[in-house]
Amino acid sequence: MRTQTVAVVNGTPDVMASLESLFEGGRYDVVFPGLSDAYADIRRLRPERVVLCTVLEQDDAILQLLTMLRLDRVTRDIPVVAVTPYGECDLGGRSMPVGAGLDL
């Protein structure tokens, strides 16, 4: 079985603890681009999945990244899921349809 690359952007310890069991077993090569470099890294690496960890203080930057990924023909088909350590992902009431999905 081929190892798949997953980019976890802006990962917090709480979120990583929640996702840990999904990434076990050697099926995934997990990379951790910083939020400021995430778009360029994702475009270059072309991971099979992206996990965006949202925190309220950075919701504008997360939405900007998500928009850039969806507008770029190279990255638009990469499945993206947004997770939050706060139990609810609202992004300040500015949610948008993104075709998010994660088939692990």
Residue 81 counted as domain residue:
yes
Residue 98 counted as domain residue:
no
Q: What residues make up the domain containing 57?
A: 4-93
Do 43 and 75 form a contact (C-beta atoms < 8 A)?
yes
The CB density around residue 52, as the number of other CB atoms within 10 Å, is: 27
Q: Provide the whole-model pTM.
A: 0.74
Residue 104 counted as domain residue:
no
Residue 77 counted as domain residue:
yes
How many folded domains does the chain comprise? Answer: 1
**Rounded to whole angstroms, how far apart are CA atoms 89 and 66?**
14
**Rounded to whole angstroms, how far apart are CA atoms 89 and 81?**
11
Residue 100 counted as domain residue:
no
Residue 99 counted as domain residue:
no
Do 45 and 7 form a contact (C-beta atoms < 8 A)?
yes
* pLDDT tens-place string over residues 55-94: 766 778 888 999 999 999 999 999 998 887 665 444 444 4
Provide the CATH number for the domain around residue 82: 3.40.50.2300
Residue 101 counted as domain residue:
no
- Residue type present at position 2: R
* pLDDT tens-place string over residues 19-61: 767 777 778 888 889 889 999 999 999 999 999 887 766 778 8
Residue 38 counted as domain residue:
yes
Paired strand residues for 82: 52
